[in-house]
Structure 1
Amino acid sequence: MILVFSVLLLLGLCGNIASGGQPPSTSTPGALNYELPTSEYETQDTFNAGIVGPLYQMVHIFLHVVQPNDFPVDMIRKLIQREFDFSVDSKEPENIVLALKMVYYEIGVLICAILGLLFIVLMPLVGYFFCMCRCSNKCGGEMHQRQKRNESCRRKFLAISLLLICLLMSLGIMYGFVANHQVRTRIKRTQKLAESNYRDLQILLDETPKQIDYILAQYTTTKNKAFSALDGIDSLLGGRIKDQLKPNVIPVLNEIEHLATAIKQTKVALENMNSSLEIIQDGSTQLSTNLTTLRNSIQKSLNSSDCASDPASKICASIRPELSNLGSNLNSSQLPSVDRELNSVNDIYRTDLESVAKRGYTFIDEIPGKVRNQTVAVIADVKQALDSISSNIKNVSQSIPIEEVLVEVSHYINDSNSYFHKELPKLEEYDSYWWLGGLIVCFLLTLIVTFFFLGLLCGVFGYDKRATPTRRGCVSNTGGIFLMTGVGLSFLFCWILMILVVLTFIVGANVEKLLCEPYANKKLFQVLDTPYLLREQWQFFLSGLILKDSNINLTFEQVYRDCKKGRGVYATFQLDNVFNISENFNIEKHTGEIIKELDNLNVNVDNIELLDKAGRENLQDFAHSWKDAIDYSKYLKEAEKSPTKVDLLAFASSLEEKANKLPEGKLKQALKTDVQNIIAIHQQQVLPLQQSLDALKQSVRTLERTSDKLPEKVNKVISSLDSAQNFLTTNISSIVIGETQKYGRTVTGYFEHYLQWVLYAITEKMTSCKPMATAMDSAVNGVLCGYVADPLNLFWFGIGKATMLLLPAVIIAVKLAKYYRRMDSEDVYDDVETVPMKNLENGSNGYHKDHLYGVHNPVMTSPSRY
């Protein structure tokens, strides 16, 4: 009881910090996992008999044959309830029926006991009358051996039979020696087992404060985890809000950013295109004017008088057709200005979509910082509440007199251990008496068997077939004397041995069948768990003894089973009926203050307008006005043209070649001047103009690529912006509230998980009562059954076997001794078919005068053999 009340006080300490029921899940917030420290106990749950185990099992099989009936649960219940009384009106039908059931259950044991009693009574009487009869020279007492035809076979058969019986008796005696040796060592084994259980109980007491300290220490771990979550509110709460907004806002901002990039590229391409168009327009006009002037100059030179005479006339004639190609190849009307489109792009560019995207990104990224700044005061209050809970737990732990209780329980266990060691010498003394008695019994049987073995040894090896019964050798005669000595000792001590066998059999068999077997198959617990059995006023004895309420269904079998599994004392003994942890400490009671403080979290994330109304109208106008605005193919077609109709350098080279063929004069000089002018126009006007055309072509292609489906992109961005803006306007408040609640549950979840684990640890794991079940197993299975009942049963089994075999051994030994001992007279036969000869006084014919002559045997024709 002291141990039980101490456990209650221990649980009272932890009862102020626990709630919940089932073991917590591994997927707890922050992956907080606790493992209650446990110790390894040294006492084994099972007891191995070692090499003598098969012998014990053999005895168990014999007992099952003798007593095959199941454990009489109902009968034991009635006996314990004292409903059957032998002394009062035993003729009542119910008592008679119960008595008959008892007799039926014990019928095997009773039969064996009755046979043993008959053996005890009859063997001394038979021995007495046998001794008196033989002393009167009867019952085979006369020293005369009758000659029979099958004498040799009879002698061998009797010798072999006695040898086999002696071997079986030796086996039984060996069982007795083994059992007696087990008895000799049981005190040492019992002491070792008791000390082992004592150490386990000490470990249990030492382990309990460590477990309590560990449970209290885990609150600090949990609090530190919560503090970490509170300090990281920007990433936990703000980050969660940010993560909720990002999937709906960031893609839209990315689209806006991409659109802004496309518009910027389009603007640059349009500006480059417009610049190129202006250069081309001016360059084309100037080139056309200069080429016209140059063509007129060449034409004037060709119309001069110098071209009238040969050979100049032919050369001038070949030059004139080529002058028509000397002109500009560009059509300015095909390259209109893109000022309108550029103005449209400039209008949308002034909307500054890049700033819109940047403002959206900034809004998302600043949420964690806003959350931290807005919750500084609340976080400080929550930390203060957590510190106060920690102080309350420490104050409760200091208010429980745990040390005094542990000291008291430890003293109780130490006193029990001291008492055991104090009484141990007495147990050893009594055990030595039993061992000495068993040893005497075994040696007595060994002495009897030894006489039988010596008789067989001397008789067999000393027997001479040619010697007559009266002339047998000393060795053979000694063998017969040994056999008769064994017979005498058997009659003298067998009944004493049987008394010991019957007493030990009755005790050992009933202990095995009524205690050991029902304890192993738990039927004994069924008897003890019978309502109103041990006390008439208590429905359940164990709950009435421990919980002071006998109506609570607390059974021995359930307690033993739970303790064997290593379950905690609180759940095993249903101590919630005495100290209900859930009622004394409620999760909501301790987390309520934390939740109350967390409810003050008022995170305000201001809404944002991603794009104002004017910017949206600009995008819509651009999407509408940009539709089919520029004919890129027309620009590309014109840009692919050469600035001049003819290659000026080739034309100049041809003209120079022809001019060189002219005779010296003004014409030749004028044409060479025109050649230089053509080359100058090519270098100064055509080449720059060609570069401008290439730039125009590049700008057109860039513009075509960047502005591809630009209106669709703008419309898509407008739709995405509307959707994102609607999401922010509609859901941002609920997202903030929802994530704030989740964050609060995360923080409180650490403590709920901790408190649930505390309750599970206290009810299921802490103060495991396994050493109690192990101590019970040690007392019953180990000491009572393994160290006492099994050796005792093996002892009576071996000694009883040897003692019972003394009966046939005595009969055979008496008959066999006639063949080995030297006789005083013998039967004599003639070797011829004559009438029996008379007694010869003078010993004629070689026979002693005291010999007695037998009747003629008509079968024997040869001289008779003795």
Structure 2
Amino acid sequence: MALVLGSLLLLGLCGNTFSGGQPSSTDAPKAWNYELPATNYETQDSHKAGPIGILFELVHIFLYVVQPRDFPEDTLRKVIQKAFGPKINYDEPETVLLGLKIAYYEAGIILCSLLGLLFIILMPLVGYFFCMCRCCNKCGGEMHQRQKENGPFLRKCFAISLLVICIIISTGIFYGFVANHQVRTRIKRSRKLADSNFKDLRTLLNETPEQIKYILAQYNTTKDKAFLDLNSINSVLGGGILDRLRPNIIPVLDEIKSMATAIKETKEALENMNSTLKSLHQQSTQLSSSLTSVKTSLRGSLNDPLCSVRPTSETCNSIRLSLNQLNSNPELRQLPLVDAELNNVNNVLRTDLDGLVQKDYQSLNDIPDRVQSQTTSVVAGIKRVLNSIGSDINNVTQRLPIQDILSEFSGYLNNTESYMQRHLPTWEEYDSYWWLGGLVICSLLTLIVIFYYLGLLCGMCGYDRHATPTTRGCVSNTGGIFLMVGVGLSFLFCWILMIIVVLTFFVGANVEKMICEPYVSKELFRVLDTPRLLNEDWEYYLSGKLFNKSKIKLTFEQVYSDCKNNRGTYGTLHLENSFNISERLNINEHTESISNELENLKVNFNIFLLGAAGRKNLQDFAACGIDRMNYDTYLAQTGKSPAGVNLLSFAYDLEAKANPLPPGNLRNSLKRDAQTIKTIHQQRVLPIEQSLSTVYQSVKILQRTSNGLLEKVTRILTSLDFAQSFITNNISSVIIEETRKYGRTIIGYFEHYLRWIEFSIREKVASCKPVATALDTAVDVFLCSYVIDPLNLFWFGIGKATVFLLPALIFAVKLAKYYRRMDSEDVYDDVETIPMKNMENGNNGYHKDHLYGIHNPVMTSPAQH
């Protein structure tokens, strides 16, 4: 592994490395989550070019137009096979065909390069002959300008065309300056970028031992959780068993407890009712005696002589007729007592039904404590097994090859870092030479285009349309000279510039198409992953290098992708082929040891609900007779008045009748009897009414309890039989199921922990993301973004400027004639007509000192003057 990681790092940072992908991994269990501490890396995952990226993209589009064909994977495979194979025979048909395929793929680049070479060859020759021709007063070298009717139009067209071309050349120069500056600034950033990558790689080396320590530390957390459950076996296992029994037992016991409460309430109601009935009999007798006495007194008072005299006699007769109402209710003394029912209920209460129910409650609540007392030895055995698992896990993690391999990788890292430290200053020095050369090239082009701009500026500003070619001003003449200087510099240097453009284009375009683009699309990895490509004896190079088993499918693309996705080194490089963590941890073996100890976990309970005495007690209560009592009779009497009339109303009425009577014995005796009746109501009737209310309440309680009493008891006994049957038939299976559930919980902690260890070692520990990042930094960032992109932009800008120098110099030569001061010019005697015959003969010139004629126009050349 160290060899592969070292190779990735060395080759990556030097621009010659490989990488790969990621198989799917098993997700960590969700029951109890562990998580390795996050590792923060400094180097960014991606590089952003910024606003200048638009220019780089423009160059990429141009290269796509030049080279639109797909990456030639098959051709590159054959080239690599030829390179790694025996000595190449270039005369072989296969080699020739391979060369043709390469030429076909490179057709666009080759064609552009050939055009550049043609430019390089022809421009010096054209410049030489142009110079010689000009020296011989040919090719526009003669300082004489023929005047044409469309001369002003041509001058304007030449000037505008040259201006547009100069602007285009200026944009190319701008691209060149920007690219040159980018190379310098980005190379300066390379040191910081390299340091960042090395820091991340050292973080990988330093964090791996800490991650393994963290994994081991989590075993103590898992063991503490298991020990907590083992120490709390009474609440965990016992509570689980109790929770399974409660739904079938507690409702029955609650009903029996309610029935026990009802029996006590029945006894209290019967006692209250019986004592109240006895008191009621006595009170009714006393009321009857009191009413008889007051009636006798009233009859004696009504025998007064005044009762025979009108109108007193009418009052007396009225009172005498109402005396029959002063009677007590004789049925109150006939209400039967409830002694028999009370005795039956007292006999029922001789058995403490509530105590029996409480014992059953206590039997259930004692289950957790009984579980703990019966499992002490088994819990101790499980703890011993768990402690031994911890030592086994420690031994396995100590034998992991990751740390040893990373230690070896540390050597490769140190060598690479020292190599970078030694050579980076050299690269920076070369970069300064390149920057200086690029600056000279861009400055030279700038100088040429400045001459063109100055020529246009002076020419257009100094041009006088009224001046003849021989009388043009100094400014205009200077503009023409500037244009010709620009033409001379163009001929002198453009072919040299094109040499630089062709060389940089050929290198930059091929690197972009053969390395940068296929690296991003991973086509380069697929080529490297071709079976038996790098070594004809190995089907897969990496698996042959790592395990000497080339049949194992371990590819550069998979390794790179896995590292890019932050996968662990173990899973990335398929180290299970040399150290199988699953077999070493052997989850089933460890959990089987715990299971074996849990097999000894035996818990026994004997629970008998209520017992025979309790059942008989319920049956006796159902037969106590309260359901056969005639409650309607009692309720009917409690609704009646104790006396035949409302004594208080009777007394007030008697007083009202006595008040109109004349003072005397009759009046006084009647008032005295009225007061006696009030006293009887207060002392006799009100207590009887209170007793009747007590009887009513007791009857209602008994009526409510006795309503469906037999059915209630029968239902309770049926439920009790069902609960007891459930306990008898299912208690063993409940204990077994809860014991297994408890065992699965304990085992689950360690299964989850062991699977997390396997998952973490396979997917998380020693994540090789910094290696993939270093590779991206070396190839995608440093080579492609820092070097090739500016290089391509440089040749693109300089090449555009150089190519447009050709039309620029043509228009500059044409335009210079209109700005420079001529030695001779065309002169006419009659400027309105020019004989076509003489024009065709070429005699269209005049000496500058010739006087214009006033008759027939005659053309005179300077030689005829």
Partner amino acid for 2:89? V
Answer yes or no: is 1:533 the counterpart of 2:533: yes
Match of 2:28? 24
Q: Give the aligned CA root-mean-square deviation in angstroms.
A: 4.3
1:242-279 Cα distance to aligned partner (Å, 9 max, x none): 22222221111111111111121111111222233334
Q: Write the distance in 2 (CA, Å) between the matches of 1:857 and 1:205.
A: 104
Partner amino acid for 1:797? F
Match of 2:89? 88
Distance 1:734 1:465, change over 3 A: same
Secondary structure at the counterpart of residue 570 of structure 2: helix
Answer yes or no: is 1:416 the counterpart of 2:416: yes
> Are the counterparts in 2 of residues 505 and 796 from structure 1 also a CA contact under 8 Å?
yes
Match of 1:592? 592
Deviation at 1:60, TM superposition (A): 0.8
Deviation at 1:118, TM superposition (A): 1.0
Secondary structure at the counterpart of residue 588 of structure 1: helix
1:131-146 superposed matches below 5 A: 131-146=131-146
1:381-400 superposed matches below 5 A: 381-394=381-394
Match of 1:518? 518
1:26-63 Cα distance to aligned partner (Å, 9 max, x none): 3x1xxx32221122222122222223211111111111
> Are the counterparts in 2 of residues 173 and 799 from structure 1 also a CA contact under 8 Å?
yes
1:213-267 Cα distance to aligned partner (Å, 9 max, x none): 2211111111121222222222212222222222221111111111111121111
Range 252-261 or range 823-832, more displaced: 823-832
> Are the counterparts in 2 of residues 23 and 756 from structure 1 also a CA contact under 8 Å?
no
Answer yes or no: is 1:48 the counterpart of 2:23: no
Q: Write the distance in 2 (CA, Å) between the matches of 1:671 and 1:455.
A: 155
Match of 1:807? 806
Distance 1:55 1:321, change over 3 A: closer
Match of 2:580? 580
> Are the counterparts in 1 of residues 654 and 674 from structure 2 also a CA contact under 8 Å?
no
1:266-313 Cα distance to aligned partner (Å, 9 max, x none): 1111122223333445665687789889999999x99x9x99x999xx
Deviation at 1:675, TM superposition (A): 11
Secondary structure at the counterpart of residue 534 of structure 1: coil
Q: Write the distance in 2 (CA, Å) between the matches of 1:187 and 1:316.
A: 140
Q: Write the distance in 1 (CA, Å) between the matches of 2:856 and 2:500.
A: 52
Distance 1:98 1:708, change over 3 A: same
Distance 1:162 1:634, change over 3 A: same
Deviation at 1:373, TM superposition (A): 2.2
Partner amino acid for 1:454? L
Match of 1:232? 232
Q: Write the distance in 2 (CA, Å) between the matches of 1:615 and 1:161.
A: 121
Match of 1:781? 780
Q: Write the distance in 1 (CA, Å) between the matches of 2:515 and 2:424.
A: 24
Range 764-773 or range 641-650, more displaced: 641-650
Q: Write the distance in 2 (CA, Å) between the matches of 1:180 and 1:103.
A: 31
Match of 1:602? 602
Q: Write the distance in 2 (CA, Å) between the matches of 1:179 and 1:703.
A: 108
Match of 2:738? 739
> Are the counterparts in 2 of residues 827 and 853 from structure 1 also a CA contact under 8 Å?
no
Match of 2:862? none
Deviation at 1:203, TM superposition (A): 1.5
Distance 1:788 1:694, change over 3 A: closer
Match of 1:376? 376
Distance 1:470 1:87, change over 3 A: farther
Range 678-687 or range 814-823, more displaced: 678-687
Distance 1:339 1:117, change over 3 A: same
Answer yes or no: is 1:445 the counterpart of 2:441: no
1:137-167 Cα distance to aligned partner (Å, 9 max, x none): 3333333322322222222222222222222
Distance 1:352 1:819, change over 3 A: same
1:546-565 superposed matches below 5 A: 546-565=546-565
Partner amino acid for 2:745? T
Q: Write the distance in 2 (CA, Å) between the matches of 1:351 and 1:769.
A: 80
Match of 1:792? 791
Match of 2:338? 338
Deviation at 1:432, TM superposition (A): 2.2
Q: Write the distance in 2 (CA, Å) between the matches of 1:37 and 1:207.
A: 10
Match of 1:278? 278
Match of 1:771? 770
Deviation at 1:582, TM superposition (A): 0.8
Q: Write the distance in 1 (CA, Å) between the matches of 2:289 and 2:806.
A: 158
1:624-773 superposed matches below 5 A: 624=623, 626=625, 628-643=627-642, 692-773=691-772
Q: Write the distance in 1 (CA, Å) between the matches of 2:282 and 2:288.
A: 10
Distance 1:298 1:390, change over 3 A: same
Q: Write the distance in 1 (CA, Å) between the matches of 2:360 and 2:408.
A: 71
> Are the counterparts in 2 of residues 623 and 710 from structure 1 also a CA contact under 8 Å?
yes
Range 39-48 or range 793-802, more displaced: 39-48
Range 679-688 or range 355-364, more displaced: 679-688
Partner amino acid for 1:88? N
1:751-783 Cα distance to aligned partner (Å, 9 max, x none): 222222222222222222211111111111111
Q: Write the distance in 1 (CA, Å) between the matches of 2:473 and 2:677.
A: 167
Distance 1:444 1:85, change over 3 A: farther
Deviation at 1:505, TM superposition (A): 1.0
Deviation at 1:316, TM superposition (A): 12
Q: Write the distance in 2 (CA, Å) between the matches of 1:795 and 1:415.
A: 34
Q: Write the distance in 2 (CA, Å) between the matches of 1:25 and 1:397.
A: 20
> Are the counterparts in 1 of residues 273 and 698 from structure 2 also a CA contact under 8 Å?
yes
Q: Write the distance in 1 (CA, Å) between the matches of 2:681 and 2:469.
A: 166
Q: Write the distance in 1 (CA, Å) between the matches of 2:829 and 2:628.
A: 162
Match of 2:823? 824
Deviation at 1:418, TM superposition (A): 1.8
Q: Write the distance in 1 (CA, Å) between the matches of 2:139 and 2:685.
A: 163
Q: Write the distance in 2 (CA, Å) between the matches of 1:86 and 1:406.
A: 38
Match of 2:14? none
Q: Write the distance in 2 (CA, Å) between the matches of 1:147 and 1:320.
A: 169
Distance 1:143 1:627, change over 3 A: same
Deviation at 1:116, TM superposition (A): 1.0
1:206-225 superposed matches below 5 A: 206-225=206-225
> Are the counterparts in 1 of residues 487 and 812 from structure 2 also a CA contact under 8 Å?
yes
Deviation at 1:583, TM superposition (A): 0.9
Distance 1:86 1:813, change over 3 A: farther
Partner amino acid for 1:212? I
Q: Write the distance in 1 (CA, Å) between the matches of 2:245 and 2:581.
A: 44
> Are the counterparts in 1 of residues 184 and 432 from structure 2 also a CA contact under 8 Å?
yes
Secondary structure at the counterpart of residue 229 of structure 2: helix
Partner amino acid for 1:769? C
Secondary structure at the counterpart of residue 828 of structure 1: coil
Distance 1:167 1:858, change over 3 A: farther
Secondary structure at the counterpart of residue 424 of structure 1: helix
1:441-471 Cα distance to aligned partner (Å, 9 max, x none): 2222222222322333333333343444334
Match of 2:18? none
Match of 1:36? 36
Distance 1:626 1:492, change over 3 A: same
Deviation at 1:366, TM superposition (A): 1.7
1:535-585 Cα distance to aligned partner (Å, 9 max, x none): 212212222223432212222222222222212222222222222111111
Match of 2:612? 613
Range 196-205 or range 486-495, more displaced: 486-495
Q: Write the distance in 2 (CA, Å) between the matches of 1:316 and 1:439.
A: 150
Count of residues paired in the alignment: 827
Distance 1:289 1:432, change over 3 A: closer
Q: Write the distance in 1 (CA, Å) between the matches of 2:186 and 2:319.
A: 142
Partner amino acid for 1:828? V
1:359-386 Cα distance to aligned partner (Å, 9 max, x none): 1221222222222222233223323332
Q: Write the distance in 2 (CA, Å) between the matches of 1:518 and 1:53.
A: 19
Q: Write the distance in 2 (CA, Å) between the matches of 1:6 and 1:384.
A: 44
Answer yes or no: is 1:176 the counterpart of 2:206: no
Of all paired residues, the percent bearing the same amino acid is: 59
Deviation at 1:711, TM superposition (A): 2.3
Partner amino acid for 1:45? D
Q: Write the distance in 1 (CA, Å) between the matches of 2:328 and 2:222.
A: 88
Match of 1:257? 257
